[in-house]
Chains A and B, each alone.
Chain A
C-alpha cells in the first residue's frame, strides 16, 4: 500500500487522499461493502467499531458504534448519497444520539470514494469535506470550487508563514 498524495484545501476545509493497494478492485470494494470488514478498519484500535446496520444503496443507512477503552460507546451513522459498485461511494458521516437518531448539533463529514484499476492493483481516491451536503452543493452553485483550487497554494504559503502557530 502506498499513500500517493494528500492534498488539503484550507479554504474549503476538505482533504483529498489517494492511496494504492495491491489488490483487485472488487477486493478493495469489499472493505466498504462488507460490514464485517468495514468494522475492522473504521475505528482506531482503541475504539473498535461495530456495524449494526449496513445498506449501501442510495438513501441507505449505515449505523455503527465505536467502543472506547472505558467501555463508552459513541454512535455514528452514514447516509449513502450515491453508489456505483465497485467504483464509487458517496456518503455523509455524522454522530448519532444514544438511540441511534442523527445528532443534528454535531458537524457532519462528507466522504467521496473513487476506486479504479491501476497497474496491477487499485487506486482509491477519497475526498473528505467538513461541511454538510447542502453546504457543499451551495458552495458548488457559487462556483466556489473553481475559485478555491488556485487559492490552496496561497493558503499553504500563508500558513507556512505563521511559524508561531506551529504548536497550536
Chain B
C-alpha cells in the first residue's frame, strides 16, 4: 500500500471540477492572476451566473477561494489542493521507483542479465 492523503469525496470533487474545459481555463487564469468574477464573465461566451456556477464548483473542490474586495469578488487558486495532488503522486512515484530498483536488484542477484 502507498499512503494516500486524499479521501474519496475529495477525489470526486477534484475530478468533477477538472473535467470541464472552462473550469480548467478559469483555474489557469487564477494561477496567473486574481481575476474578479465579473472579469471572468467577460472572457467566456456565457452569462455571469454560469461563470459564477463554474467558480462555485472549483470552490467546492477546494481549488479556488473567493474573496470580496470592495464591490468585486476576487478569485484566487488554492494551491494546497493542487499541491496535495502533486504530493500524492510524488509519494507514489518515490515508492515505486524504490520498488523498481529492488526488482532490478533481485533480477541481478538471481542470474538476470
* CB under 8 Å from chain A, chain B span 1-20: 1-2, 4, 6-8, 11-12, 14-15, 18-19
Task: From B14, B92, B93, name the one whose CB has the most chain A CB atoms within 10 angstroms.
Answer: B92
Residues of chain B in range 76-102 having any CB-CB distance to chain A below 8 Å? 77, 79-80, 82-83, 85-89, 92-93, 95-102
What's the Cα separation between A28 and B99 when bound, in Å?
A: 13
Smallest distance from the beta carbon of A157 to chain B beta carbons, Å? 8
Size of the chain B interface, CB-CB below 8 angstroms: 45
A14 to B19, CA, bound (A): 15
Asked if A15 and B113 sit within 8 Å, CB to CB, the answer is: no
- Does B93 contact A21, Cβ atoms closer than 8 Å? no
A161 cross-chain contacts in B, Cβ below 8 A: 31-32
A1-B4 CB under 8 A given contacts A22-B113, A27-B112, A159-B82: no
Contacting residues, chain B, for A154 (C-beta < 8 A): 24, 28
Closest B-chain residue to A75, C-beta based? B1
Chain A residue with minimal CB distance to B95? A44
Q: How distant is the Cα of A121 from the Cα of B107 in the complex, in angstroms?
A: 11
Judging by beta carbons under 8 Å apart, are B93 and A8 in contact? yes
Evaluate contact between B99 and A41: CB separation under 8 angstroms. Answer: yes
Number of A-B contacts (CB under 8 A): 137
Q: Give the CA-CA distance A112 to B79 in the complex, in Å.
A: 30
Instruction: Map CB proximity to B onto A139-161 as digits: 1 under 8 Å, 0 otherwise.
Output: 10010100110010011001101
Query: Interface residue tally of chain A, by bracket?
Result: 35 or more
From A1, A10, A31, A94, contact of B85 by CB (8 A): A10
Which residues of A have CB within 8 Å of B28? 154, 158
Give B88 Cβ to nearest chain A Cβ, in Å.
6
A42 cross-chain contacts in B, Cβ below 8 A: 99
Contact in complex: B113, A121 (CB < 8 Å):
yes
Q: Which residue of B lies closest to A28 (CB)?
A: B107
**Shortest beta-carbon distance from B89 to chain A in Å:** 5
Are B89 and A10 interface neighbours, CB within 8 A? yes
Q: Which residues of A have CB within 8 Å of B18?
A: 11, 148, 151, 155
Establish whether residues A168 and B83, one from each chain, have CB atoms under 8 Å apart when the complex forms: yes
Question: Which residues from chain B sit less than 8 Å from chain A, CB to CB?
Answer: 1-2, 4, 6-8, 11-12, 14-15, 18-19, 24, 27-28, 31-32, 77, 79-80, 82-83, 85-89, 92-93, 95-107, 110, 112-113
Residues of A at the B interface (CB closer than 8 Å) are 1, 3, 6, 8, 10-15, 17, 19, 21-23, 27-28, 31, 37, 40-42, 44, 74, 76, 93-95, 106-107, 109, 120-121, 126, 128, 130-132, 135, 139, 142, 144, 147-148, 151, 154-155, 158-159, 161-162, 164-165, 168
